[in-house]
């Protein structure tokens, strides 16, 4: 399962919800017939009941966010009941990424190495800062936050398990 975002609350009184998307391109999800919801972002797809499919009645971009309506959620109370749940989908149901586009799940766990060949750590997660995404890079107890922008991230070799960055080891 690829975690796509999180339901942040109800939107109106007819069962619509506001969704915080993790990453760019949530408009592509609008064509998916169903989304899967879970209380845990790291829920194992093999565990029954961790990810529950919800038929998507409608979804659209709304301002800078996304709103969605599930067929089985008919009112505000139903929308409130699913607030806080994570939205995910199996990889095979997601749109293919373009060159230099990545799902966050593809980046987590990759080693981060600077241009001098010094290992900075592994990607433990990502944050959305509004201006750009931010790589959370952990090396033991030390954590670095690196902007996921072209000036810093020079290459992503997902097959090789490495992200190369222009970032000093002492920054």
Q: Tell me which CATH homologous superfamily contains domain 104-165.
A: PRC-barrel domain (2.30.30.240)
Residue 155: pLDDT band with limits 50, 70, 90? very high
- C-alpha separations of 117 from 56, 102, 106, 160 in Å: 46, 23, 22, 15
**Model confidence at 48: pLDDT above 60:** no
Angle in degrees, CA 7, 129, 101, rounded to 5: 85
CB burial of residue 138 (10 Å; 0-12, 13-18, 19+): middle
Q: Which of 29, 20, 23, 76 is nearest to 54 (CA)?
A: 29
**Model confidence at 45: pLDDT above 60:** no
- Residue 159's SS3 state is coil
Q: How far apart are CA 94 and CA 45, in angstroms?
A: 15
Q: Do domains 2-93 and 104-165 have the same CATH topology?
A: no
Residue 49: pLDDT band with limits 50, 70, 90? low
Encoded tokens for 27: 């408009």
Which value, to the nearest 10 degrees, does the dihedral of the CA atoms of residues 91, 96, 102, 104 take? Answer: -30
The pLDDT assigned to 44 comes to 59
The pLDDT assigned to 16 comes to 98
User: In what order do the strands lie in the sheet containing 153-157?
Assistant: 142-147, 133-139, 119-128, 111-114, 162-165, 153-157
Domain boundaries, the chain: 2-93, 104-165
Is the separation of the CB atoms in 132 and 149 below 8 Å?
A: yes
**Model confidence at 23: pLDDT above 80:** no
DSSP 40: -
Between 36 and 105, whose confidence is greater? 36
Overall CATH class of domain 2-93: mainly beta
Residue 47: pLDDT band with limits 50, 70, 90? low
Residue 109: pLDDT band with limits 50, 70, 90? very high
The pLDDT assigned to 158 comes to 82
The pLDDT assigned to 148 comes to 94
Encoded tokens for 3: 């975690």
Pairing of strands 162-165, 111-114: parallel
Write down the mean pLDDT value for the chain.
90
- What share of the chain has pLDDT > 70, as a percent? 95
């Amino acid at each position: 399962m690829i975690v796509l975002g999180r339901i942040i609350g109800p939107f109106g009184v007819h069962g619509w919800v506001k969704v915080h998307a993790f990453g760019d391109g949530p408009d592509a999800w609008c064509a998916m017939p169903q989304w899967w919801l879970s209380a845990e972002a790291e829920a194992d797809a093999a565990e029954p009941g961790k990810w529950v499919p919800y038929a998507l009645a409608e979804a659209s971009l709304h301002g800078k966010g996304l709103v969605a309506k599930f067929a089985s959620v008919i009112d505000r109370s139903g929308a409130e009941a699913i607030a806080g749940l994570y939205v995910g989908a199996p990889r095979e149901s997601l749109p293919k990424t373009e060159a230099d586009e990545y799902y966050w799940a593809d980046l987590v766990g990759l080693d981060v190495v600077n241009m001098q060949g010094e290992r900075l750590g592994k990607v433990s997660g990502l944050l959305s800062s509004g201006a750009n995404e931010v790589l959370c890079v952990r090396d033991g107890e030390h954590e670095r936050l690196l902007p996921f922008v072209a000036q810093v991230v020079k290459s992503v070799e997902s097959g090789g398990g490495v992200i190369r960055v222009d970032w000093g080891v002492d920054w």
